[in-house]
Amino acid sequence: MGLTKTEIFTDKQNQLATFLKAMAHPARIAILQRILISNTCICGDLVGELGLAQATISQHLKELKNAGIIQGTIEGVSVCYCINPKTWKLLETQLGAFLAEYKGETACC
């Protein structure tokens, strides 16, 4: 075992889970916030700012990139990472729809 049974869930459920999983780490939230605030990002800055090793940050960036949340373009010696606007909007839509399913407090519990 140890393998998520994706086949029994809908594509939407699986996709939302993938997005959430990609963001479900404080380092990746910190990285995203850093990109969001400065509206641009160079990986080297993060190595100094977060207290994690360069290899670890590179790994986190890779996961955000795999999920499609960020994109990177080579800029001379360094790489410029920024938000993928298309994915971010999709994420906002899907997450918004999910959260909106809550209809207020129930009488039950």
Partner DNA sequence: GAGGTATATCGTAATATTACAATATAAAAC
Partner DNA sequence: GTTTTATATTGTAATATTACGATATACCTC
For the CB of residue 51, give the shortest distance to a copy of itself in the complex, in Å: 4
72 near 61, Cβ under 8 Å?
A: yes
Q: How many CB atoms lie within 10 A of CB 19?
A: 19
35 closest CA partner among 68, 80, 95, 89: 80
Nearest to DNA of 55, 107 (CB atom): 55
The secondary element (H helix, E strand) that includes residue 80 is: strand 78-83
Nearest to a copy of itself of 30, 68 (CB atom): 30
For the CB of residue 67, give the shortest distance to DNA in the complex, in Å: 10
Instruction: Determine phi and psi for 74, rounding to 5 degrees.
Output: -70, 130
Q: Which of residues 36-75 bind DNA (CB under 7 A)?
A: 42-44, 47, 52-56, 58-63, 72, 74
For the CB of residue 1, give the shortest distance to DNA in the complex, in Å: 3
Q: How many CB atoms lie within 10 A of CB 64?
A: 23
Contacts with DNA, residue ranges (CB under 7 A): 1-5, 21, 24-25, 27, 42-44, 47, 52-56, 58-63, 72, 74, 76-79
